Every structure is written in structure tokens, then in C-alpha cells.
Amino acid sequence: MVLSHSLPVAPALLASQDDEPATVQATISSLLSADSPRLTGENREYAKTLAESGTVLPPILVHRSTRRIIDGTHRCRAALLRGQTHIEVSYFDGDERDAFVLAVQMNAKNGLPLSLADRRNAALRIIRSHPHWSDRRIATVTGLSGRTVASLRLCSGAEVAHLNTRVGFDGRTYPVNGEGARKLAAEFLTENPGASLREVARAAGLSPATAKKVRDSMRSGELPVVPEPGSRSTGDLVESADPLVDLHRLRLDPAVRFNESSRILLRLLNFQLADTELDRIAAGLPPHCLSTVVGLARSYAKVWLRFAQTVDGRTAS
């Protein structure tokens, strides 16, 4: 069975949870050239180097409905140079706009790197095809900074006036105006005073930490505090509203599945347990080892927090 890849923002449930997607053999002559983000097109010397390397080449990714290569043009050329008539293929079933986004996402992180000009041009194209996407989301796909994407959006004139929200990389909708998000949180708390911080955060498109600040400000009789533009503290690190769903999205992301470092992370994240399971484990621990477990848990928590801050620093750059 061939699995259908999908973008993290519009995930389709897959029948398999394997680390590697299923592939099939496809006739190379049946495939069309890529809608490539590379402005200079195919690099024949790089393809020749791949062909002469003698290594087993990973499967290429193809848009099923158009038969157009999404990722793997140089591998396909290398296969031809080796005299092959067939190549291992994994299929993507989304539309052509999302196929281009996936091509950028995978080419920006794997194989021959995209140039800065390639990535800027790709960002402009994605801004036009996905105007509802946040700057940070497009930045993550293209390997640019959020500030660069914001500047490109402004220069492109592609912004749609009535778009008051944008969709982040997690698939959630966020208000473009941070103050508006905090006001939404305040309104939600007024109507739902017993709501949890995660419920408030999900309703307003904020992190739970920011939702707590809004709640504390309301309890003290103050208006919700709006930080200065561009300011952000480690306390505002965004928490996952639904870790299982977010982990599933990561597992479905081809750029994650084809990246060795990301697969190691997935294996580590797979060992994280639900709160109810941890409560059950805590209740059953022998009394003599409680302090040791507490120390270990806090040490591991610090490691994960440092990791989160490192990754968050990349998204904010």
C-alpha cells in the first residue's frame, strides 16, 4: 500500500505509523520534471556526483495526480545516469500549491541546499498562494527568519485586507494583532470564569503562559498587559494544547520522517506518557526511591526546557 503524504497544517490520517513511508517502483519516463524552487534548475554536476557515489538513493517524492516530482530531481537524474529505468517513489496526494510548499520544505532541509535567492523567491510565492499563513510558519518552511518573511509580505502587496487572523505551523488560527488576542482571552474568561488556562489559550490563540498573565491582570483589576512589539520571554514559550495530536502531525510530516535528527526526536517523544499514566506510576512507586525519582524527573525536565528554549530561539530569529 502506498501512503499519502500531507503537509503538517492539513494532516490526513495515515494507515501506518512506521518511521519510513511505503514506496513503489515507478517508470522514470512516466514522471514529469519538478516545479522546483531552485531558480537555476537542475545541477547536473551534483546529479553526476550522486550517480558516481554508488550509494543507495532514498525514494523520491511525487505528486500523484500530476506525476510531477516534488523532491528528488537530482536522485532521478542520477538513477538515469546509472542506467536505471525505474525508481522508488513515495506519493503525495495534496493539491499543487501544497506540493510546491512541500518541495520547498524538503529542499530547504535536505540534499543540495537552496540559495538565499531560492528561499526568498519561494517565500514570495507561498505568501501569494497561502496568504492566511503566518510569517513564522512560512519562515519555518523556507528556512528564512520571520522578519524577512514579514518584509517580503509587505513588499509583495499580497496581504489580503480582511484577513485578521493567520494560521500557524501548528494548524491553529491566531489573531494578527497580539492585543486583539489578549482581549479575546479576557472576553472568554469573563464568559467562562472557570475555564482552564489551556482552554483560554486555545480559544484566543495564545500560549498558556500568556493566558495566565491575562487572567492574573483581570484578577488584580488591571487591563490585560500588552508587551512591547517584538518582546518575548522564555515564560511565553508556547505549550502544546494537545500533545498527542501535535506528535501525530510531526509523524506525518515527510520532512521530519526523512531527517535522521528528527526521527531520533520522534523516538524520544514517543516515550512521553499521558498525565493519567504518570499519576498511576507516581502512586505505585516504592517509598524509598521517591526522592531519587523526583531528582531525576526534575533533571530531565530541565533538559527538555533547555531544548525547548533552543528550538524557540530558532523560530524567533
**Whole-number pLDDT of residue 165:** 54
**Whole-number pLDDT of residue 76:** 93
For residues 137 and 201, what is the distance between their CA atoms, to the nearest angstrom?
Answer: 19
**Whole-number pLDDT of residue 77:** 93
Profile the chain (317 residues) by mean pLDDT over runs of 10 residues.
Answer: 40 35 86 89 90 89 92 92 93 89 84 86 90 85 86 66 50 58 76 80 72 83 49 50 64 72 80 65 87 88 84 66
**Whole-number pLDDT of residue 100:** 93
Q: Which three cell numbers stand for residue 155?
A: 513588499
Q: Are 209 and 237 in contact (CB under 8 A)?
A: yes
The CATH classification number of 4-109 equals 3.90.1530
**Whole-number pLDDT of residue 231:** 44
Phi-psi sector, 11: left (phi>0), alpha (psi -120 to 50), beta: beta
**Whole-number pLDDT of residue 67:** 93
**Which residue bears the cell 535567492?**
117
Q: Are 13 and 99 in contact (CB under 8 A)?
A: no
**Whole-number pLDDT of residue 152:** 83
Indicate the SS3 state at residue 62. strand
